[in-house]
Amino acid sequence: MRNSFPSVLVCLGLLLGCVSCRQHDYRTLTIHVPEMRNSACERVIRGAISRTPGLKQESIKVDLAARTITVTFDTLLAADKNIEFMVAKAGFEANGIPADKKAAAALPPDLLR
């Protein structure tokens, strides 16, 4: 028992050292937004997701033809679903998550149809 105490301390030190090493975990997410039809839609969606903690603003890529938005974010600060729900709360369907009906109704008519 006496000889194992230093080994336990070394293992505990290594474990604690490893836990604190990871400061970022960046992932890329592509969100399909079927109702995104023009740059006005893009501005609304960008505004909604730009408040996401850990989102790299310079990583936001929009493809209007494919109706997708690709973002890179830190998974230690946000999750895929956080970003998708922000798009839905802005009034647009996002990866199958339905748009918030009140937000969609409040969008100017030229944005959606």
pLDDT tens profile 2-61: 566 566 555 555 555 555 566 888 999 999 999 999 999 999 999 999 989 999 999 999
Which residue type, as a one-letter code, is found at position 88? A
pLDDT for 13 equals 59
Q: Which CATH number fits domain 26-112: 3.30.70.100, 3.40.50.2300, 3.40.50.300, 3.40.50.12780?
A: 3.30.70.100
Domain boundaries, the chain: 26-112
Mean of pLDDT values over 56-85 = 95
| pTM (2 d.p.) | 0.77
Whether the Cβ atoms of residue 104 and residue 92 lie closer than 8 Å to each other? yes
Q: How far is CA 34 from the centre of its chain?
A: 18
